[in-house]
């Protein structure tokens, strides 16, 4: 029964679109939902590109980028210090690191002319990943 409940929650998280994300009042949950939505959009972009639908792939990559921006904004709005209360930041950092590997694989499978659609979203995911990592690993002497 517990597994079924977890599966239902996981499906709900992945089915959430950007408008539903913005309605979530719990900021940490919103960030998790946004990350799950970004992962889902990346998977859809891979599938669309494999089918040869470049427009759909570009749209999915744009949704991934927006979802990552929502996740970053949500964790920033919590006001929590990433070094002291690192759990949601570590989760996000790990997921974005994994997403970057998948983005690199997608980019390597693309034709050179098609790679321009992935540049912006990849840069955003990298920027958010780096910000979360630096927040977690930040200078311990900076709060003295």
Show pLDDT as tens, one digit a residue, over the chain (144 residues).
444 444 444 444 444 577 777 778 889 999 999 999 999 999 999 999 999 999 999 999 999 999 999 999 999 999 998 888 889 999 999 999 999 999 999 999 999 999 999 999 999 999 999 999 999 998 665 554
The answer to whether 24 and 80 have CB atoms below 8 angstroms apart is no
pLDDT at 144: 44
pLDDT at 5: 40
pLDDT at 141: 52
The answer to whether 39 and 96 have CB atoms below 8 angstroms apart is no
* H helical segments located in the chain: 2-15, 18-22, 27-51, 54-77, 87-109, 116-136
pLDDT at 16: 58
Burial classification of residue 38, based on how many CB atoms lie within 10 Å of its CB (0-12 exposed, 13-18 middle, 19 or more buried): buried
């Amino acid at each position: 029964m517990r597994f079924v409940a977890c599966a239902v929650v996981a499906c709900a998280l992945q089915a959430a679109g950007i408008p539903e994300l913005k309605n979530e009042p719990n900021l940490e949950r919103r960030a998790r939902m946004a990350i799950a939505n970004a992962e889902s959009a990346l998977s859809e972009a891979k599938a669309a590109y494999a089918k040869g639908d470049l427009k759909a792939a570009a749209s999915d990559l744009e949704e991934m980028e927006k979802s990552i921006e929502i996740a970053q904004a949500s964790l920033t709005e919590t006001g929590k210090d990433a070094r002291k209360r690192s759990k949601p930041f570590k989760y996000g950092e790990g997921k974005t690191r994994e997403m970057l590997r998948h983005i690199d694989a997608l980019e390597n499978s693309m034709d050179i002319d098609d790679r321009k659609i992935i540049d912006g979203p990849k840069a955003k995911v990298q920027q958010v990943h780096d910000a979360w990592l630096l927040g977690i690993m930040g200078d311990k002497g900076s709060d003295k």
